[in-house]
Structure 1
Amino acid sequence: MNQFKILHIVTSLGDGGAEGVLTRLCTTDKKNENVVISLMAPAKYSDLLISNGITVKHLNFNRGKLTIRGLYRLYKEIKSSEADAVQTWMYHSDFFGGALARLAGIKNVFWNIRHSNLDINKTKKSTIYIAKLCALFSRFIPSKIICCAEQAKQSHIGIGYYERKMIVIENGYDLSRFHRIHVDKLSVLNEEFKSLELKVRPLIGMVGRYTPEKDHNNLLQALHLLSSKECDFFIVLAGTGVDNDNKALLDLIEHYKLSDKVLLLGPITDIPLLMNHLDMHVLSSSSEGFPNVLAEAMACGTPCISTKAGAAERIIGNSGWLVPTNNPENLADAIYDAIHEFELCKEKWNERRMIAEQRIKDNFSIEVMIDKYNEVWTN
């Protein structure tokens, strides 16, 4: 069978869920030739794609600044690519990349939606404007609109996206990379944890970059409430912007009197290793599309506590705890219940770990995701 050439256009290859899915898709898909254009400068996933043989071109646009000259450069790249199909990622790439692909004569254009909703209080006005512009042109530009979750599909239909073109393809994961391994907290992470005595308390973690949608304030407020119950714990926070240079985050930690219970790791590369060290993973988001970190933790046998943001409920099922968004009291109660079970009901906890692991194996493999993308691209 002849290979199709798929040109992916993405706003950035920085630290984010869409960028991670794009990278997994391109590096695992062996049926097609995948080429990536990033509108911005090289970032987190650039080297990983290139090291796996994927051609990556960076247009080095300045954030928030699209110029006529820049758009013309993008048009020329699309025109010269001789791609069979263009797959765009995120709103700006959907609109500008999709429209320019059409102008370049490419008929097979596919958009990708990663947000479950557009919270006007936590989303840039420019992003909301572009999303609504996409809605107006969704009948004409894309052949299909791929959504990461059913909630994302329904919320975008609600703002005017053309329903007949919308389909759902859930994220998939490389289970040869994300799986349970035996680790010794005190030996493997000893340098990172500065010899902290982690044996005496459960180790909680949250992986997520510092953005309003991740709602770190919600998490820290919940942990403050948890501390008042004389519940012992320690939490590590990882992700872009989650480090000791982030004064706003440090101020929050100090405000909630958690300085002795929180460690900031910043961005990490070996997520499977971290997930295997955690006793449980928590996600405090107010808004999500398809939260990858939940599936990645569960694939490693790490139970999750999460807000009902995006597809969190679909991912967790009956394997963990789900609470409303923006409710630190409920989140604190759920973490407390998880810690209680972890400490006092080992048999039940081990069963929960197996249920979480099996749920990802049964529903979210990378092979299923790739097959679904190929079916859309080639039909």
Structure 2
Amino acid sequence: MGSAFVQCYQLCRKSDIIQTWMYHANFLGYILSKLLKKKLIWGIHHSNLNKHDNKRRTIFIAKLCAKLSKHVDAIISCGPKVKEIHEAIGYKNKQHRMIVNGVNTDFYKPSKKRQYYTERFNILNQPILLHVGRWDPLKDYGNLLESIKLLTQKRQDFYVFLVGYEIDGSNRELRQMIENVQLEHITFLLGSREDIPQLMAAADLFILSSSGEGLPNVLVEALASGTCCVTTNVGDCEYLVGDYGEVVPAKDAAALSMAINKALNYDSKQYEKRANLGRAHVLANFQIKHVVEQYQSLYPAIIDSKNMKANPH
């Protein structure tokens, strides 16, 4: 821990602005900015501070940062709901603004090549349900698997692909959860992958089952890929998906299952309309170049405010 702090200190000495992401890094950045007399920008990408879904230390640091927030030069929340929630718990800063997460829409783009799955995994040409997320309580894999179990009571013409860090055969707890709901025959655990753009574009549905999010990149990427989405209503997911997919309450497996079934029953015109509108939404609001432009305009303003204070006349 000490050596890591020293490394951060040495790196930040060379900078004009310290920019941090998430609560623990924000707190560390605050300490470094005071020691080094540097400008500081916080990033917030979280919305759920429920004690059942977060470590006590995380909640403590988040609340501590709320008390320090007025002493920060700027705060960036990744979405409107994230901004609203943090202001409600005491984050106060005149430079609290929203800059969304961006995606490279040349990288994530439509390409309905179902054979990407059939050729690699030796499966039938049936609907593909894709979930991408690390092994974390907030991703609520229990909710996902229970919803799929309920779905199998109505239909069994689909496969489930799970992708993410520690989402592989070595995860005994996850394997046991899958066995408990008897989904081993249709579930594939792919772990961390380099071909997520291809997997997203070739999937029929992207599912997000989380109990807490900020503005999840994976939803932006799925929409950019022209893949219809089913998501829980956490963080800014509703703002992202809107009328382009299905949005259900968190921790409600029955509602999630019904929404997945509804989306699987879209006819080709319904699916195409939602897919096109979803990608258009991303092109208009979440392109990485637009996000970069917002940061490029923010940084000089922060530096100028520093110079104005140093030279008031």
What TM-score does the superposition give when structure 1 sets the normalisation length?
0.76
Within the alignment, does 1:95 sit opposite 2:22 as a pair? Answer: no
- Residues 117 and 152 in structure 1, CA contact (< 8 A), matched pair in contact too: no
Q: Which residue in the other structure is 1:23 paired with?
A: none
Q: How does 1:173-192 map to 2 (within 5 A)?
A: 173-183=103-113, 185-186=114-115, 188-190=116-118, 192=120
Q: Deviations over 1:283-316 (max 9, x none)?
A: 0000000111111011111000000011111111
How far is the alpha carbon of 1:163 from its aligned partner?
4.1
Residue 230 of structure 2 corresponds to: 305
Letter in 1 for 2:83: K
Question: What TM-score comes out, normalization by structure 2 length?
Answer: 0.92
| 1:349 maps to amino acid | Y
Show the counterpart of 1:377: 299
Deviates more, 1:126-135 or 1:298-307: 126-135
Unmatched segments (≥5 aa) in structure 2: 302-313
Q: 2:62 maps to which residue?
A: 131
TM-aligned CA deviation for residue 191 of structure 1: 6.0
Alignment correspondent of 2:53: 122
Q: Within 5 Å, give how 1:183-222 maps onto structure 2.
A: 183=113, 185-186=114-115, 188-190=116-118, 192-193=120-121, 195-197=122-124, 199=125, 201-222=126-147
User: Number of aligned pairs?
Assistant: 301
| Structure 1 residue 152 displacement after superposition | 1.2
Q: Which residue of the partner structure matches residue 24 of structure 1?
A: none
Q: Give runs of aligned pairs for residues 103-114 of structure 1, distance below 5 A.
A: 103-106=35-38, 108-114=39-45
- Return the offset for 1:181: 2.5
Pair 1:138–1:84, CA change in 2 (3 A): same
Task: Name the residue aligned to 1:353.
Answer: 275
Greater fraction helix: 2
Q: What are the ranges of 5 or more consecutive residues in structure 1 without an aligned counterpart?
A: 1-65
Name the CA distance, whole Å, in 2 between partners of 1:174 and 1:353: 17
Alpha-carbon distance, 1:70 to partner? 4.1
Return closer, same or farther for 1:257/1:99 CA change in 2, 3 Å cut-off: same
CA distance in 2, matches of 1:368, 1:164: 23
Pick aligned residue for 1:296 from 188, 207, 221: 221
Contact 2:117 2:123 in 1 (8 A): no
**More moved, 94-103 vs 109-118:** 94-103
Query: Which secondary structure state, in structure 2, belongs to the residue aligned with residue 358 of structure 1?
Result: helix
Question: Helix, strand or coil: the match of 1:109?
Answer: strand
Whether contact under 8 Å (1:98, 1:110) holds in the other structure is: no
Equivalent in the alignment of 1:19: none
* Amino acid of the structure 2 residue aligned with 1:286: S
Counterpart Cα distance in 1 of 2:4 and 2:134: 28
Alignment partner, residue 41 of structure 1? none
Return the letter of the residue paired with 1:171: N
- Helix, strand or coil: the match of 1:223? helix
**How much does 1:73 deviate?**
3.9
Is the 2:150–2:254 contact (alpha carbons within 8 Å) kept by the matching residues of 1?
yes
Alignment partner of 1:264: what SS? strand
Q: Distance in 2 between matches of 1:245 and 1:299?
A: 31
User: What fraction of aligned residue pairs are identical, expressed as a percent?
Assistant: 35
- Alignment-mate amino acid for residue 346 of structure 1: S
Distance 1:125 1:191, change over 3 A: farther
Measured in 1, the distance between the counterparts of 2:112 and 2:136 equals 32
Aligned to 2:183: 258
AA aligned opposite 1:367:
K
State the 1:166 CA deviation: 1.4
Shift of 1:233: 1.4
Shift of 1:272: 0.9
| Deviation sequence 1:116-157 (CA, Å, 0-9, x none) | 1212111111111111111111112x2001011111112212
Partners of 1:104 and 1:139 lie apart in 2 by: 18
The match for 2:88 among 158, 162, 186 is 158
Between the aligned partners of 2:137 and 2:7, the Cα distance in structure 1 is 33
Is the Cα–Cα contact under 8 Å of residues 29 and 40 in structure 2 kept in the other structure?
no
Partner of 2:99: 169
Match of 1:204, SS state, is strand
CA RMSD of aligned residues (A): 1.5
